[in-house]
Chain A
Amino acid sequence: MSGRRVAVTGLGIVCALGQRVSEVWGALREGRPAISPIRMAGAERLRFRNVAQAHAYDPCAHFDASRIEHMDRFAQLAVIAAREAVRASGIELTPGLRERTAIVTGSSVGGQDTQDAGFVELYQRAQDRMHPLSIPRTMANAAASHISMEFRLTGPAYAISTACSSSNHAIGNAFWMVRNGMADVALAGGSEAPFSFGLLKAWEALRVVSPDTCRPFSKDRRGLILGEGAAMLLLEPLDGALARGAAIYAEMAGFGMSSDAHHMTHPSADGPVRAMRAALLDGGIAPEQIGYINAHGTGTVANDATETRAIRNLFGPHAGRLLVSSTKSMHGHALGAAGAIEAVCTILALRNSLIPPTANFTAPDPECDLDVVPNRARPAEVECALSNSFAFGGLNAVLALRRLVS
């Protein structure tokens, strides 16, 4: 660990649980999942029925028609989350600061909706032309580009795509840029809108989606539930944030990465152990200072047992004192947005001294023998927390956060 301390001074989120931080926190606090039957054409042809969809989201409430035309849903969600984060931070983005502001966004699949609709025209309706906006709407960096234009931010901006770890990698990279002085502000997070028929069929084929709901760490878990949404964090040096009297949500303290070099879909415990250890080391945090882990916790048999093993291997006896919950049980698995959504959940847990539960929990599994905070949020004053993301392809990214009372 070296360089400047970094504060999170703005949060923004939109997902199945709600369209702003306060709504999402309301649901997390009550352990209220937003998993419901999928609403889309062709849903009856899918083997699974339920997803965590942002049903209440109405693009017209946020953008005029011309902008909507230029933006896939995943980019719209990213901009809405960025707006909330900037607003919450109270930061004045002067021309000089805008040049020193970085944007790093994560997305696994980019503008799926757009691509799917275009291919339907091409293959199914035998049209010979794709819409000219297909490429700018589909590209995975569209979210970063739209955020930069929205706020006229002219510093470094890029997108990271590492499947389910995308936005943890994005936040981690942005954090390091601010810590090392390469940027003075960063907007970082991720967004995903994966509900295109083609992509859902592809997930169906992998046989990892639950037929009912998402029950992480529960004996009778049957798979993940796909989700959508976006979340953004505004990061800035702690000293500067204190000097301008900003409200500080938490300190972004450490970031760790690793790869399993093992299998494209089967998890390993070793890679996650190394990523969590790297995050602790990066943040100068002792394992005993961690009180809460927002788990990757997808709800598949393999992930949850492997993640439990990884946590036990790294933390030893302290694992028994950790609170470990999977908020995917409520907001679903939002793929490239998962890390960012869960970073928001983790920060809110630290700030409010209340750990959101693992919802839908029915029965303990000896292979997941951690305190998974079943079904009810638990009051706990926690000093530091980890937020885990472990992607298909074996790419792991872990954020370490510290509670700061401003």
Chain B
Amino acid sequence: MTDHLSDKVLSAVASVKHIPREKVSVESSLQELGFDSLDATVLMFELEKQFQVTIPDDGVRSVRTVADIVAEVSKLAASAPLAPPAAGQP
């Protein structure tokens, strides 16, 4: 499940930045991949849609690596159907 999920997250990361999938690994930091805050927000939007979860704004702020995103999405997907909406920091 997590491998499958990681795979999807890696694909989403690559797709949002229009970079080859093989350049992205779970160890990659978003900064290295050239993400700014707006790119990160778009990525969260894509992931929320794909996994039917609600990623809180505070969650967005704390992610630094692709592994962080995988962990956040796994946690939220496990507590599905829908995490309670929570907003916060961009």
Give me the interface of A with B, judged by CB distance under 8 Å: 47-48, 204-211, 222-223, 263-266, 300-302
B87 and A266 within 8 A (CB): no
Cα A204 to Cα B54 in complex, Å, equals 12
B80 to chain A, nearest CB (A): 18
Interface residues of B in 66-90 (CB under 8 A from A): 85-90
The 8 Å CB contact of A48, one of B37, B41, B87, B89, is B87
B41 and A207 within 8 A (CB): yes
The 8 Å CB contact of A222, one of B44, B54, B85, B89, is B89
The 8 Å CB contact of A302, one of B37, B45, B87, is B37
* Closest Cβ neighbor of A44 among chain B residues: B85
Question: What A residues does B45 contact at CB under 8 A?
Answer: 205
A264 and B38 within 8 A (CB): yes
Contact with A along B26-37 (1 / 0, CB 8 A): 000000000011
Cα A207 to Cα B88 in complex, Å, equals 7
Question: What B residues does A209 contact at CB under 8 A?
Answer: 87
Cα A209 to Cα B45 in complex, Å, equals 16
Question: What A residues does B89 contact at CB under 8 A?
Answer: 207, 222-223, 301
A222 and B88 within 8 A (CB): yes
Question: What A residues does B90 contact at CB under 8 A?
Answer: 206-208, 223, 300-302
A266 and B37 within 8 A (CB): yes
- 8 closest A-B pairs (Cβ-Cβ)? A211-B87, A47-B87, A208-B90, A47-B85, A207-B90, A207-B57, A265-B38, A48-B87
Q: List 19 A-B contacts (CB under 8 A).
A: A47-B57, A47-B85, A48-B87, A206-B90, A207-B44, A207-B57, A207-B60, A207-B89, A208-B90, A209-B87, A210-B88, A211-B86, A211-B87, A211-B88, A223-B89, A223-B90, A263-B38, A265-B38, A302-B37
Q: How many residues of chain B get a CB closer than 8 Å to chain A's CBs? A: 15
Question: What A residues does B44 contact at CB under 8 A?
Answer: 207
A204 and B38 within 8 A (CB): no
B37 and A265 within 8 A (CB): yes
Give me the interface of B with A, judged by CB distance under 8 Å: 36-38, 41, 44-45, 54, 57, 60, 85-90
B41 and A211 within 8 A (CB): no
A211 and B38 within 8 A (CB): no
Name the residue in B54, B85, B89 with the highest tally of chain A Cβ atoms < 10 Å from its Cβ.
B89
Q: A47-B86, A222-B88, A302-B90 are in contact. Are A206 and B41 (CB under 8 A)?
A: yes
* Closest Cβ neighbor of B84 among chain A residues: A47
Cα A263 to Cα B57 in complex, Å, equals 21
Q: A207-B44, A207-B60, A211-B57 are in contact. Are A223 and B37 (CB under 8 A)?
A: no
* Closest Cβ neighbor of B37 among chain A residues: A266
Question: What A residues does B41 contact at CB under 8 A?
Answer: 205-207
A66 to chain B, nearest CB (A): 41
Question: What B residues does A208 contact at CB under 8 A?
Answer: 90
B36 and A266 within 8 A (CB): yes
Question: What B residues does A266 contact at CB under 8 A?
Answer: 36-38
B47 to chain A, nearest CB (A): 13
Question: What B residues does A47 contact at CB under 8 A?
Answer: 54, 57, 85-87
Question: What B residues does A264 contact at CB under 8 A?
Answer: 38
Cα A206 to Cα B40 in complex, Å, equals 10
B35 to chain A, nearest CB (A): 12
Cα A353 to Cα B57 in complex, Å, equals 40
* Closest Cβ neighbor of A224 among chain B residues: B90
Cα A370 to Cα B24 in complex, Å, equals 41
Question: What A residues does B87 contact at CB under 8 A?
Answer: 47-48, 204, 207, 209-211, 223
Given A207-B90, A264-B38, A302-B90, 10 other A-B contacts at CB below 8 A? A205-B45, A207-B44, A207-B87, A207-B89, A210-B87, A210-B88, A223-B89, A265-B38, A266-B37, A266-B38
* Closest Cβ neighbor of B36 among chain A residues: A266
Question: What A residues does B57 contact at CB under 8 A?
Answer: 47, 207, 211, 222-223
